[in-house]
Amino acid sequence: MADLSVDLGFRTLKSPLIAASGTFGYGEEFLPFFDLDILGGVIMKGIFREPRPGNPPPRLHETPAGLLNSIGLAGPGSEKLQESIRRLRARTPVPIIVNVCGEDDDEFVAVAETFSAMAEVAMLELNISCPNVRQGGACPAQDAGHTARLVGRVKERIRKPLIVKLSPNVGDIVGVALAAQDAGADALSLVNTFLGLAVDIDARRPVFANIYAGLSGPAIKPLALRLVREVCRKAYVPVIGIGGISSGRDVLEYILVGAAAVQIGTINFREPAAALRITNEIEAEMERLKIGNLSEIRGQLQT
């Protein structure tokens, strides 16, 4: 039997598959489809202190091999999320990860402290990379200095492992990754969505009110794989690969370039039980390739 467990250094997960923030609701929505405890973790939709309406519709736009979103981090606020987390924990032991957001650094720190104090929460993911909050896609992850200051402040105030989620919309993702690592990130997750544009030719306007939106799905997989490889070559903290994963083979590709684990996102919208299928596919590929544990091939891409 293939052993799917992965070691992040600070914690062992039973599977490399983690449900990505914003594609898996607050976990409860997916309970009817499969046993969530097969996953390495479930990441909640990004959360601020107060409820947020998010961006005006339309918020989603399909492309031939991907999905553009401009949700704007809509959410119920920290108090309601705490209730959802308690309900989810009562129904499954899957590790729960909170995706922490903030309008400014003080809010990031406050939200991180709130969820760090919850026994039900395994880890935090700091969302410094959402491209849909400010026009033009600006976010803290575009600046290594800002990333370092913010990660340092958050780390000082929490007692849970901290994953920092990076943006692909930068000139030097390795520089930002190392800034986050040196400031205390326990792991890095990459990449968030690529900034894109959709045009309505009848209206002669952008499809989205915010003009640009974030592209995810199979279209971004080769781009994301390259960035994950580059960060893995330089960082010593574990990297969680994200971008267009929709099969077991895709997962092995990310592990070969150096990822310790992966997140599955856009596929969850199309196929709610995708994680179950992908888990079976990983096992089948591991048996076919005679891999006992994914650590045997992690970072073993031959060039």
Q: What are the residue numbers of the active site?
A: 130
Q: Which is nearer to ligand SIN, 22 or 248 (CB)?
A: 22
Look-up: residue for tokens 């599955």? 264
Report the site for ligand SIN in 14-33 (rule: CB under 6 A). Answer: 22
Q: Which is nearer to ligand SIN, 53 or 93 (CB)?
A: 53
Question: What's the min distance (Å) between Cβ of 160 and ligand SIN?
Answer: 19
Check binding of 127 to ligand SIN (CB under 6 A).
Answer: yes
Q: Which stretch binds ligand SIN (CB under 6 A): 106-114, 125-133, 176-184, 276-284?
A: 125-133
Check binding of 102 to ligand SIN (CB under 6 A).
Answer: no
Q: Which is nearer to ligand SIN, 15 or 266 (CB)?
A: 266
Q: Which is nearer to ligand SIN, 127 or 279 (CB)?
A: 127
Report the site for ligand SIN in 26-85 (rule: CB under 6 A). Answer: 46, 69-73
Question: What's the min distance (Å) between Cβ of 127 and ligand SIN?
Answer: 5
Beta-bridge mates of residue 19: 42, 264
Contacts 24+ apart (CB under 8 A), 63-66: 63/196, 63/198, 63/215, 63/217, 63/219, 64/219, 65/217, 65/218, 65/219, 66/215, 66/216, 66/217, 66/218, 66/219, 66/220, 66/244, 66/266
Check binding of 142 to ligand SIN (CB under 6 A).
Answer: no
Check binding of 246 to ligand SIN (CB under 6 A).
Answer: no
Q: Which is nearer to ligand SIN, 69 or 279 (CB)?
A: 69
Question: What's the min distance (Å) between Cβ of 113 and ligand SIN?
Answer: 20
Check binding of 140 to ligand SIN (CB under 6 A).
Answer: no
Report the site for ligand SIN in 191-230 (rule: CB under 6 A). Answer: 192-193, 214
Question: What's the min distance (Å) between Cβ of 283 and ligand SIN?
Answer: 30
Q: What is the DSSP string of 203-248?
A: TTEESBTTBEEEEESGGGHHHHHHHHHHHHHH--S-EEEESS--SH
DSSP 8-state symbol, 294 = G
Is the bond preceding 251 in cis, omega lying within 30 degrees of 0?
Answer: no
Ranges of beta strands (E only) in the chain are 6-7, 12-13, 17-19, 41-43, 60-63, 66-69, 96-100, 121-127, 162-165, 187-190, 194-197, 199-200, 205-206, 212-216, 239-242, 261-264
- Where does this chain bind ligand SIN (CB under 6 A)? 22, 46, 69-73, 127, 130, 132, 192-193, 214
